[in-house]
A and B are shown apart, each in its own frame.
Chain A
Amino acid sequence: MNHDRYPDAYIRGILDSVKTIAMVGASAKDVRPSYLAMKYLLQKGFDVIPVNPGQVGKELLGQKVYASLAELPHPVDMVEIFRSSEHAGAVVEEALALTPPPKVIWMQLGVRNDEAAERAEAEGIQVVMDRCPKIEYGRLSGEIAWAGVNTRTLSSRRPTLSGTGVQHLSLRKPKSSPDE
């Protein structure tokens, strides 16, 4: 995978197939990017498990916090890394040691570790680096366009409403959608 520029189909495929996410470095501070991303992904229907040794025993956005990936109660589809680029390598090693390992390892906007990515890809794991899943979900669903952001997508199809509340778009097309 070329980690400088991901095809939209690659990111869309990941966000459309992943259901459970372990978020390493999830912060309890409500203005930190990790908190914002976790809140947004929970609202979009993902099952997000926060991992943060400093918050063990507490709940974050209603989810129990775990000290490490090894302590997770069940396998996860994706590990998301909110740690610095140099610390990301150790988290990838922990993820690779899981049974079964995750299908996806995602490093947050600003985080990139090409060596670790190569190790994960050698195990057949999909890797995304230097991207925010909240921004990518907002971009591909069209929600982020309300903030004047260039989504770099064109479509003559109607965006998909998530079906709950107002101002919520979804990446998932309803099964009986007339657009399909």
Chain B
Amino acid sequence: MSEERVPGFSTLAIHAGAQPDPTTGARATPIYQTTSYVFDDVDHAAALFGLQTFGNIYTRIGNPTCAVLEERVAALEGGTAALAVASGHAAQLIILHTLLEPGDEFIAARQLYGGSINQFNHSFKKFGWNVVWADVDDISSFENAVTPKTKAIFIESIANPGGIVTDMEAIAKVARRAGVPLIVDNTLATPYLCKPIEHGADIVVHSLTKFIGGHGNSIGGIIVDGGTFNWSREGRYPTLSEPCESYQGMVLHETFGNFAFAIACRVLGLRDLGPAMSPFNAFLILTGCETLPLRMQTHSDNALAVAEYLSDHPKVSWVSYAGLPGDRHHTLAKRYTPKGAGAVLTFGVRGGYDAGVKLVSSVELFSHLANLGDTRSLIIHPASTTHRQLADAQKTSAGAGPDVVRLSVGIEDKDDIIADLDQALDKID
């Protein structure tokens, strides 16, 4: 393409990172299913291990199939570089491992995927990384949570499961004043609906398992470096700004400039903690990624139609979907996700726990399972599954009260999706 022309999103979704294979000319990205790569000689090996030249050593650190996925998602998000890893949880682990030392704090929105709440509350505390919770509906709660130990702020663009849209620019201002990077989990929105770096995010993280892969066949995660944060300004991020002992004293920020964070995540976090993505998963996720714009628009359009249908149903007491006019997050949705508010919504079924169980037991097109972001429509009743172990009061405060049902609306014909919900709601007494 002409060098001055900036490619559009759909073009990047297909082409970014994927030139024909240099040796065979293969046009689809080959699956480099190999653990290791031969060196020319000992000098080449030493240069690779010392980060003196570019190239692959061992698939735990980098792989050419995974690299195509990394460049693809970096390009879609408008970042400088990316690192693909085994899962979204692994991505979060590596981000915080790069930024925090034991005893440090990070501020996280209460409105997060339940798996992230568990990871932050329990597993990360064992590393001495202390989460401080704040509320996206009250920006001052983020400001009040900042202390000299704060090293990062973590939010979701569209929060799971409630259909909440976060005011990223307001929280980005808090992060800038505190001198810490803003990390945004963009899984539910995807860069098709929203690009957090344009709204002040410094780091973007995804569970690729969801919409970017999009077909429910592969677990994966990715870290995108926005290239926006100055790691050396105050010396609070020694992993990036100080000589690195395991690379003979190299200073990563000085050497790699505006993609140093992604490199640090790879050559320290991934190298030492080990959650590498399989090249086969990278291939499947890349194939899904090519149709992301088509799928995401259909997901959002179908979800809005379902939300409108449910809003008028006598057996439904409430619907939470930011795409609905009148929803408390609709103004933010129009600002941050103007093309649509995504696929995921929650609603309350009249009749409480038993009605929820009856509904998920009666669907025939929807699949009853715990994932989201599949081509297929998915349904779950959190109170009887993912949040079953909690007391009733805890369930309600976690947004998983007895009447709550979560949908991830698929890309089937919307009339069929609505017809399935209609027949299942009819079966509730």
Residues 107-135 (chain A) with a chain B CB within 8 angstroms: 109-110, 132, 135
**Is there an interface contact between B80 and A167, defined as CB atoms closer than 8 Å?**
no
Shortest CB distance B239–A (Å): 15
Q: How many residues of A contact B (CB 8 A)?
A: 41
Contacts of B71 in A (CB 8 A): 145, 148-151
B81→A157 contact, CB < 8 A = no
Q: Check A160 for interface membership: any CB of B closer than 8 A.
A: yes
Q: Is the CB of A145 within 8 A of B67?
A: yes
Bound-state CA distance A116–B178 (Å) is 36
For the complex formed, measure the closest distance between the CB of A10 and the CB atoms of chain B, giving whole angstroms.
9
List of B residues within 8 angstroms of A157 by Cβ: 19-20
Interface residues of B, CB < 8 Å — how many?
58
Chain B residue with the shortest CB-CB distance to A141: B54
State whether B80 touches A149 (Cβ < 8 A).
Answer: yes
Q: Which of B77-92 contact A (CB under 8 A)?
A: 79-84
A158-B25 contact, Cβ under 8 Å, with A138-B54, A150-B82: yes
CA distance A2 to B385 in the complex (A): 58
A148→B262 contact, CB < 8 A: yes
**With A135-B257, A149-B262 as given contacts, are A39 and B47 in contact (CB-CB < 8 Å)?**
yes
- Cβ contacts under 8 Å, A36 to chain B: 51-52, 255
Contacts of A50 in B (CB 8 A): none
Residue of B whose beta carbon sits closest to that of A158: B20
**B410 contacts the other chain (Cβ, under 8 Å)?**
no
Q: Are A149 and B74 in contact (CB under 8 A)?
A: yes
- Select one of A39, A132, A147, A155 contacting B19, CB under 8 A: A155
A156 and B15 contacting across the interface, CB-CB below 8 Å: yes
CB contacts (< 8 Å) of B266 on chain A: these are 147-148
- Contact partners of B39 in chain A: CB under 8 A: 166
**In the assembled complex, which residues on chain A have CB atoms less than 8 Å from the CB atom of B138?**
none
Say if the beta carbon of B75 comes within 8 Å of chain A. yes
Question: Shortest beta-carbon distance, A84 to chain B, in Å?
Answer: 13
Residues of chain B within 8 A (CB-CB) of A145 are 17, 67-68, 71
Sample of 18 A–B contacts (CB below 8 Å): A29-B249, A31-B243, A36-B52, A39-B53, A143-B55, A146-B55, A148-B66, A149-B74, A149-B80, A149-B262, A155-B1, A158-B19, A158-B20, A158-B21, A158-B22, A166-B38, A167-B37, A169-B22
4 closest A-B pairs by CB: A148-B70, A165-B40, A150-B74, A167-B55
Residues of B within 8 A of A (CB): 1, 3-4, 7, 11-12, 15-17, 19-23, 25, 37-41, 44, 47, 50-56, 62, 64, 66-68, 70-71, 74-75, 79-84, 243, 247-251, 254-257, 259, 262-263, 266
